[in-house]
Amino acid sequence: MAPPRTSAPADDGRTRDRVSALLLEHGPQTATELAERLGISPAAVRRHLDALVGAGRLEERMSRDAHRGRGRPARRFHLTDAGRSAFPHAYDDLALTALRYVAASGGPDAVRAVAEQQLAGLEARASSAVEKAVSGHAGAPVDRAQALAVALTAEGYAASASALSGGGQLCQHHCPVAHVAAEFPQLCEAETAVIGRLVGTHVQRLATIAHGDGICTTHIPGPLRAGNRSSPERPVPGERAAPRPNRARPAPSTSTASPRTALTNDRERTPA
């Protein structure tokens, strides 16, 4: 009995992974060179190259030494940044090593400073996108959260925002630093503070991917109505809530009631 044949899509995927691996190992190559290494026809390898170029994993360039001889210049295929990112890397290990050194040298505040610096560029880009989306006016926090979700999605966070009866929620379905933030919650705290500044109000983290939840969820409170004070769920353990804006407290009253007045008031409240 003949063994079951594998599906064509699976075979195509393996061949394209081999193409990418050859380009990573040997550098830019022509379709003919790749075909010889793979043991398939140039026409077959071109089909895979076209698919990889269409997916953004490869790009085609003219070779620099193409005009040394006669004939048409050779076209070589190069890995793009997206193509390289598909291979295993140790970025998380490097980041953890660096932050552990920072924590040992400067303590938690030093780690927090690194996290804030790392998010400064993201905040600047997202701020411009949010202000443009709300057309220059202040905008309600929930409206700003909608614009922020679009900006964060462009940064790779796969974010969405929704309006609720008590305000709104900002959900991030991907976290680029989840493994690092699991050990250093200062990254989540700094990100929460950025979200609060961008939506224009204090916010509260309800769940994080780094803490083991499936989605990073941030509660955005809406305007409180008279007689309707809704409180969000408890924040993520180990993470501090974003600071609330300072509000002036009214000065305590210095007037005191006289004993005669207090006695009269007590008598008036006593039932007959």
pLDDT tens digits for 122-163? Answer: 999 999 999 988 876 667 888 899 999 999 999 989 999 998
Pinpoint the residues of the chain covered by CATH 1.10.10.10: 8-85
**pLDDT digits 0-9 by tens, 189-225:** 999 999 999 999 999 999 999 999 989 999 998 764 4
Which part of the chain is CATH 3.90.1520.10?
92-221
Alpha-carbon distance 21 to 1, whole Å? 34
Mean pLDDT on 246-266? 47
Domain covering 8-85, topology? Arc Repressor Mutant, subunit A (1.10.10)
Question: Residue 19 CB: number of other CB atoms within 10 A?
Answer: 25
CA dihedral 104, 110, 116, 120 (to 10 degrees): -100
Instruction: Output the DSSP codes for 87-109.
Output: S---HHHHHHHHHHHHHHHH-HH
pLDDT per position as a tens digit, 36-47: 999 999 999 999
Distance of CA 18 to the CA centre of its chain: 31
Distance CA 147, CA 127 (A): 10
Cβ contacts of 20 within 8 Å, gap of 6 or more: 52, 57, 58, 79, 83, 86, 87
Q: Which CATH architecture has domain 92-221?
A: Alpha-Beta Complex (3.90)
Share of the chain above pLDDT 70, in %: 74
